[in-house]
Amino acid sequence: MSHTSPPAPEPITKLHTGIPGFDTVAEGGLPRGRTTLIAGTAGSAKTVFATHFLASGIRDAGESGVFITFEDTPEDIRRNMLGFGWDIAGWEREGKWAFVDAALRADDQAVVVGDYDLGALLARVEHAVKRTGAARVSMDSVNALFARFADHGTLRAELYRISAALKELGATVVFTAERIDEYGEVSRYGVEEFVADNVLILRNLLQEEKRRRTVEILKFRGTSHQRGEFPFTVSPERGITVLPLSAMELTQSSSDTRVTSGLPELDRMVGGGYFRDSVILLSGATGTGKTLTVTHFVSGGYSAGERSLLFAFEESREQLARNARGWGVDFERMSEEGMLRVVPVYPHAMPIEDHLLRMRDAIDEFRPGRVIVDSLSALERVTSLRSFREFIINLTSFIKHREIVGMFTSTASKLTGGDSVTEKHISTLTDTILLLRYVECRGELRRGLLVLKMRGSPHEKNIREFTIDATGMHVGEPFRGIGGILGGTFARGADGGWDGDAEDPDAA
């Protein structure tokens, strides 16, 4: 008696959602032909996600979609989503998008039903899917159904029925449901997640008086995905964009090409100039010369025929131009020649994830050889520490992959130096660290410059004195006979003089 083996199951394939960044987290997209629950609290962008899923299918993959609405009217959805550039009405006329309107109207009689089923709704849905040839279906939001069903077990069975019918038609389905707490139960009624093959959780967290949106794939049945929460943002230009740090792979090439700092003596201190694909952290207290160092950096790029893009979070374009003009550098002429673009932005104007996306867009559009962020300290104040560090990781990786040299400024916490919070959390992410410090000598305030770190190159270890005049910065000789400059506490020798090679610091 022969026994035949059961046929091998077909592997689960992924459907690219077209939502930027999400397919990286999902390792290819949503499982094709399956049902995914999108659960989230109010304001977590559930409806936007469900709409973006259909819009990307139409726009990027040529796949029609059906939108089943249980709460908002089709007219509201058309109007609200037009702000993202999604012309739903136009797609309806072209037969690419169909609504199934199951929303309860204000003048409808709210009836709680017992032995009621969704057979009529299912027939309408099947008709819309077949008429449009839809590969994608979104349902928003199934919570409205719970007000109509006294028996949640019956509703669960009916949702299973709809899901199974859509699977038979080959559709990939997402449906939204509300949650009460960001880290509580998956769904409000505890039924929705058991109907779905996959579960996504969208969060709209309040951290340190600031909102932060994240997405987490809680369950992908039978296939892999990345674990944990990933930040995302919602913008009119692109809808939802997920920002996975996992996409920031350390695969960029390493360049040996040197570029000038704009100061010949500083170039010598760093072994011949910065590396083409390096990121420099410039740290100093207020007034130590950070803006001037940036100005020389821009000027050095201009002389070498390289464009510079300066993101200014503390000063206006006019202030920066005036300051540069005072040192003999003409920012206006550079801008007119297309060699410099200054982008002044108020740090509180938007979430840090939106800042990141706008900065990446500006870099891709302008294609600079140098990028300056002045300053990171301003951005640090408007977000949580976790979001700030994710921002730095993403931005540094982005510019390194494009072999752009970057300079980030940071304000030290004390007048005499010391680590800023910024330095503590991003120093390991940068290739070169320059410290600008005040040095007090016999009642006179002087300035010092130190190359604290430079990856892949020997560099000078001395703290050099520098001066500032109408022509800019001038790097001089190393300080001698002075200790404790970095900590702001200077050490004296046993004889009352200064420790080091000389008794009098003015001998330097």
Collapsing DSSP to helix, strand or coil, 402 comes out as: coil
For the residues of 449-487, what is the DSSP string, one character each? EEEEEETTS----S-EEEEEETTEEEEEEEP-S-B-TTT
Q: What DSSP designation does 102 have? A: -
Between CA 383 and CA 135 the distance in angstroms is 39
C-alpha 10/C-alpha 4 separation (Å) is 18
Catalytic residues: 71, 314
DSSP string, 311-349: EESSS-HHHHHHHHHHTT--HHHHHHTTSEEEEE--GGG
Task: Judge whether 387 and 346 are in contact, CB under 8 Å.
Answer: no
What is the Cα–Cα distance from 20 to 239, expressed in whole angstroms?
9
SS3 of the chain: helix, strand, coil, percent, to 5: 35, 25, 40
Nearest to 383 by CA among 205, 248, 241: 205
Buried-exposed string 303-313: b where 16+ CB fall within 10 A, e elsewhere: eeebbbbbbbb
In 3-state terms, what secondary structure has residue 199?
A: strand
